[in-house]
Structure 1
Amino acid sequence: MSNSLKASDSGLAIVDKSRQRLGWTKTSTARWWQDAHTSRATLRRFWQGDRIQREIFIAICQAVGIVNWEAIAELSHADLESIADIPTLYRDWNEAPDIESFYGRNQELAQLEEWITSPNCKLITINGIAGIGKTSLALALVDRIQSKFDCLIWKSLQTSPSLISLLNSLLNSFEQGVVQNIQQGTVQLIQQLQKRHCLLVLDGLEAIFSQAENLSYGQFIQQLSRERHQSCILITSREQPKNIEINSKTFRCLNLKGLPKKAAVELLQSREFTGKELGLSALIQLYRGNPLALKLVTPLIQSVFGGNIAAFLSQNTLIVGDRLRVILKQQFEQLSGLEQDILYWLAIWQEPVSFSRLQTHLLISVDPGMVLEGIVGLERRSLLEKWISDYEPSFTLQPLVMKIVTDELVEHTAQEIHQVVQSHDIRHFQILRTHWLLRPGTDDIAGDRILNQLGKKLWRFYGATLPEILNQILLLLKGQSPLAMGYIGSNLAILSGIDLV
């Protein structure tokens, strides 16, 4: 074999994707050529497609996590004969996304690698709120451990494929024929997982949770975790799969939190900040180290506030980019009525609330078991923050979730008032009947965040006629039972008393 190699065009594309996952530049990241024990000039020659020393070529590939350098090289006939006996890995990465950068997560990567390389581990899930970096972490993990598997397949579920279409796509990766039913497809897939030591990545499982096929997917995942095979399935999702025993020998679950401060600072430095700005730590804490949220808010801070983070924070607001807003709003709309009620109460209180306190504020008596199930469901979706005290756990909302739920609360209550004004039927009141909007312990009613936001929204629509309209609605409550009125009268009376001019 020749002692020099050059990269093919397709090989350079693979390397380009791998370096993007690491957050490296093509030729300006010193660590790259240092890890490869070469020079920047040689790395540039590599990108130009020039022939370079074979050992250096391999080292450049390995530095970004590519073990099968043969897939990168443009090999001659003699080269191909020399490596004919070397086993090759099968990869189906067409659906793996590109990522802009990746920071930190060393502890999570080490934990995932320990699990995925342990005997009998068949299923691993990475769960977390939208934007927290689940897909990026999965890509970094696969780059790190790819040499330990004979087969790597990445499938994105963001298009919400039916289970039968997913099975046929997977079987096509194994060059198997089309199947007509789920049972047949699952059996054939497991047979392939038994033959090969395969890593199968299912990215974005939450996309199918609103489908009628949710149950079929759940049963499919359970079967993959229970059947005997030598492969591992890695799932990313905003929700934990139901009815699977977590942290057993076959199933492990990583609940992904925000970036630690050091990694978050590195991310912000890549967005034209120095890392020494006043308010930097507070900004990271406000967004709980959510990488996507930080990336979405930084352009606004740069353009509107000239990069002055403290000036942005002084506005006492939280900006949620359109991309995150859409995702979180969709997730909220998929919740049960009780789960939405719990989130509304937590948004109103704006502080950690215990289960017993939450239970006493529900207008209609609900089985405590159902309330507990609601809290567990919200935790499983990474929408809650838990606070542990000496007495009992308390729950509140992540700031991003608090913002979305507050906006939903204001929007829906305003709609309820519009409907009652038009119909003169108080049965349209739902949230205003079951939720007391005034935050407990509030002295400055006009300064109450939710009531003030709702009042201003109504004022923009009704103008100076708002007090009269609210009084007319109050007249509709005369003669109504206490249960029918609930909190309606108290909420409208407070809104009538707020000076919004």
Structure 2
Amino acid sequence: MAEEPNPNHQEIIKLEGTAQDESKLTQIGRVDAENFHLNAQQVQFLVQLERSTKVESPGVLKAGNPGKSLAYWQGRKTEYAQIQQWLTDNNTFLIGIEGIGGTGKSTLATKIYDEIADFPKRFWADVSNGASFSDLAREVLTKFGFQVPEQEAQLVEALVNCLRSGQFLLIIDNLESLLQPDRQWGSLFYGDFFKAWMEFGGNSKVLFTTRERPELPQILNWLPLKGLQVDEGVALLTALGIRGDLAEFVELVDGHPLLLKLVAGLLLDRYSQDPDLSRLADLGLGNLRQLLTDPKVIGQHRLENVGIVLVLDASFAKLSELQKALLQNISVYRGAVDSAAAVAVLPGNSEPEIEGELRNIVKRSLLVEQLNGKRRFEFQPVVLEYVRYKAGDQSEAHQRAIDYYSSNLKQEPWQTKDDIREYLQIFYHWFQLENYDSAFGILIACNDFLSLRGCYTDIVYLCRQLIEGWEKTAERENRNYLFSLNFLGNAYQFLGVYKQAIKYLQHSLEIARNIGDSYVEAVSLGFLGVTYNFLGQYQQAIEFYWQSIKIAREIGDRNVQGTSLNNLAVVYEFLGQYQQAIDIHQQSIKIARELSDRNGEGNFLNNLGRVYNCLGEYQRAIEYHQQSLDIQREIGNRNGETNSLGGLGSAYNYLGQYQQAIECHQQSLDIQREIGNRNGEANSLDSLGNAYNSLGQYQQAVGFYQQSLDIAREIGYRYGEGNSLRNLGNAYRALGEYQRAIEFYQQSLEIQREIHDRNGEGISLGYLGIAYNCLEQYQQAVEFHQQSLEIAREIRDRKGEGVCLGGLALAYNCLEYYQLAIEFCQQWLDIAREISDRNGEANAWYSLGQVLKNINRESDALGAYRNARELYQKMGHDANVQDCNDRIERLSQPQTPVVLRRGFWAWLRRLWRWVRSWFWL
């Protein structure tokens, strides 16, 4: 930067250069050049101070008590009274305190927190380190005694319901840390929470402080916080022991509290016997008045910020070299630090010496000492920005911070997110060093743990940080960058944000193709297949899997090939193409064994067992599930163990061995809870519900389905939420509560349409058809079954197509369109034989027997029931076998003459229809 010559001392001085945000610095003052002390560096920091703050990477929530001293509290009577009034107003739900750094927003909020008596339960959350909404919501729910969702998407609903249920006070400090430069949210779910809270509200109040106004509903109450009144500022300086023309000085700096404290700290440190404001000239602040009254200076920048920069410069200049080094080095940390952490970044000094220096700096108002727990020190945000700016290159300090946290890492197994606190801090420091590969290594170390606990928003934050960092460099061809795109896509997939998932996975695929990285191309294609599988768009999923397999074969990567083959087989299973699924699963198992991949072998065997479950070959299914279980236990894969137990439970359930099924599902559930796999926990609860539903214990089934539904909603598992709602519908249908069943089916249908799950949509439509059939609203039943059939044919789900044809057969049988019913049963039978679906074939014969019996073709009906019985016997369906035996026995007994039977039943049906129509009229 250069200063233009000014021989007349009255010309406009121009300081030109580029600030850190690439904005131009120009024309900031018209003053006598010989007295001009606002240098280029000061101007550059002013620009940085006045720009929007950036979003921090995932950090640690600072919660509990504010820990801020009110020892020198002065004034704010008007502001305090205004907030107190809002807190008692039934129509006020959200209060924002806005002001520039150092105006005392947090102090005012602390005063409210400590003294307002109407809220027996209150919570303080400082999000200055970029804390995720998930961490905030979980902490609040725990403090207020509510059930804590372990994962993301439904935490918004949980927190809103919690706040609506009582009279709580929630204070969120430093909200600007969560905002992007355009004032949009850089952190998922905060915006959703504020919107929902403003919509529903309650007796609780939410208050936040911020330097920047976020995009929020306009109906909240804003308190723009200015400086202290003159008399209040005078009282503060007097309490601090400062003398001189106090009123004039307070008026000069607009009563800015931090500025007043910094000036007082500077005077007290240098002139403890005579801390008079007239001494400011001796401290290099002789031009303070001149700059703070010059319209050109103040026209470009806020008066308070100009004063802060000048006083901070003067204060910093008077520190010892050790104190300067100490402040600059500890500024690399996020949040409060203790003396041990300070020594780690400034070696060669004793811990007692460093702690003493930290306490001396507190007296200068450059640090704040926490009042609760272990003695810790933290920066006021404006001072932190200044010190970091002043420090310049902090690479060495960041590296020492990494070494410090690395020496304090908690070893696995981890139980809570707090156990990986040091890892997240190390990620932050590697990121600040722009060493994105090392930061990615931390992501890899934590990814499985965060995924199992459903902390997908944390994964989103970490991946987005890395992606944004790499995109500022020329390293977009870096493989770790591409994997970060894939990780981000997967996280969005589990959050049900499929559009975003596809966007990032497709981006990774395009780059991989452009640079010729076939391995990443194959991996990205496989992940896209998984996403489209979740969407129920099976043909697209199949295409992506086959492309992945082809590339993996070309480059000889057997691992990717085996994984994609396994996933492809799963799609064929969903489509009812069981023989293809079996053949492909066998290929993936062979590859896993060749690679000695015991984990893959165990997973693939379990999936193969599931296919045999679908085929009705339950004993064979049990063999594969048991082999899988043995492998998972051998290698200690607890998550794989739960999946194998779930497969075994399903097989035993189909066999009617319900107690064994319940034992397997209960063991699976216990492990899921032990390892913190919330997604798996929801699935195990659903499976337990299915077992109790099969036992006829419908209320217990409802209890398990409801628990599963709650978890699915908590973690944003939309696919699972739709399944749980559908299962609840099945339970209530079994209880004869058909209208309630329909409500659950409709909710399930809405979700499946929302997430574009075509398979789930078709199944829910089919169950709606069954429910309306139970209500004897046969025409509506036919319409729903027909819609379900169209979807099954569209996605080429042969098994689903057969089931839909069976539903239509049932409805037309009730409508007495017997020939149509027979045709649909025959089509179902043909499909079941085609895909080797033994269970479907048995059910088709059974349904055909019912229709044939209704039209008095007893001989044909007997044949159909006998065929069904034979198949049920092979599958071990004892209850169904007994049902067939009962029907065969009744049909084999001497019959009433056909004409009489036909006439009687026809008359009875006509009578019932007449009574029903008369009743509804």
TM-score by length of 1: 0.43
Identify, as 1 or 2, the structure richer in strand. Answer: 1
The normalised TM-score by structure 2 is 0.24
- Which of the pair is proportionally richer in helix? 2
**Higher normalized contact order (CA 8 Å, seq sep 6+, divided by chain length):** 1
